């Protein structure tokens, strides 16, 4: 981060799934730039620890437990953010879940839960946060964390890829409708980022032979490596800031160049 940069001084940011991985890196980045951050998630111990670590570094953070797939919990989350800090200026829809599974082996409960968290969660959070921004006359920013898989087919991830595709379209449509209120909506499409979600059956995906062979050895990823959460957070912070003031409905890839290869 550029030293001394304070693009979010006096602003409040709500980050879903903000206790680990990209969400936590984003919470730290926004807090470093002056934001009061509200982290939310279902794991209370992890969330409280994340918020405490940010406060221990001299920044402002609170943890509010919530399941983003539950409309009532999301409403309470946004109410608490406003009660604690006075406003919601930034929303980062980062919460997601993933478990590999072939389409014919995926039952309805698993399929629905992925959509509940990724798509319905973004719907509930966007509607509640935007409603409060509009009521207070705040020209805020919403950033949706998507995936380059939203436009690609990959075995054992039909539910996740379909949900991320829906999230991209939600980004575009809400961007068009909320712009009349001065609220910008954009997204990032992440590639291989080293997070807890990238560990499958105890193995980090970037340490597998197939990753080393295809994405590094054959330069499927031109940068020949996985990304770090902080690199994703930098792009999210840019979109949340006024540096991206003329960006509306964009979904930008943060993938080391993976989306330009074939």
Strands (DSSP E) along the chain, which ranges? 12-16, 36-41, 61-65, 90-93, 141-147, 184-190, 199-200, 203-204, 251-254
Q: Any catalytic annotation for residue 160?
A: yes
Q: Please provide the DSSP assignment of 34-77 as one string.
A: T-EEEEEES-HHHHHHHHHHHHHTT--EEEEE--TT-HHHHHHH
Specify the residue for token string 């794991």: 43
8 A C-beta contact, residue 252 and residue 187: yes
Strands (DSSP E) along 191-229, which ranges? 199-200, 203-204
Please count the CA atoms within 13 angstroms of the CA of 111 that sit on its side-chain side.
11
8 A C-beta contact, residue 26 and residue 92: yes
Which tokens is 201 given?
Answer: 């059956």
Strands across the sheet with 90-93, in order? 61-65, 36-41, 12-16, 90-93, 141-147, 184-190, 251-254
Q: Which residue is catalytic, options 123, 160, 215, 246?
A: 160
- Spatial separation of the C-alpha atoms in residues 62 and 128, rounded to whole Å: 19
Q: Is residue 157 classed as helix, strand or coil in its secondary structure?
A: strand
Which tokens is 181 given?
Answer: 């209120």
- Spatial separation of the C-alpha atoms in residues 20 and 27, rounded to whole Å: 10
Residues forming the active site: 160
């Amino acid at each position: 981060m550029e030293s001394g940069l304070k693009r979010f001084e006096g602003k409040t940011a709500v980050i879903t799934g903000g206790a680990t991985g990209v969400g936590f890196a984003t919470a730290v980045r926004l807090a470093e730039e002056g934001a009061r951050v509200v982290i939310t998630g279902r794991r209370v111990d992890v969330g409280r620890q994340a918020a405490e670590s940010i406060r221990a570094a001299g920044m402002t953070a609170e943890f509010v437990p919530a399941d983003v797939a539950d409309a009532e919990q999301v409403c309470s989350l946004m109410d608490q953010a406003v009660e604690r800090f006075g406003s919601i200026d930034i929303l980062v829809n980062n919460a997601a879940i993933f478990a590999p599974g072939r389409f014919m082996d995926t039952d309805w409960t698993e399929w629905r839960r992925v959509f509940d968290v990724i798509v319905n969660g973004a719907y509930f959070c966007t509607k509640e946060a935007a409603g409060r921004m509009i009521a207070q006359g705040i020209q805020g920013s919403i950033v949706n964390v998507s995936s380059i898989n939203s436009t690609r087919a990959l075995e054992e991830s039909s539910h996740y890829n379909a949900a991320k595709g829906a999230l991209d379209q939600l980004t575009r449509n809400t961007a068009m409708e909320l712009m009349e209120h001065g609220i910008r909506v954009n997204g990032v499409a992440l590639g291989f980022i080293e997070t807890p979600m990238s560990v499958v059956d105890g193995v980090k995906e970037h340490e597998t032979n197939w990753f080393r062979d295809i994405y590094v050895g054959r330069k499927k990823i031109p940068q020949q490596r996985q990304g770090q959460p902080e690199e994703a957070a930098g792009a999210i912070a840019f979109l949340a800031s006024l540096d991206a003031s003329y960006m509306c409905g964009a979904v930008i890839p943060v993938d080391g160049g993976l989306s330009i290869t074939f």
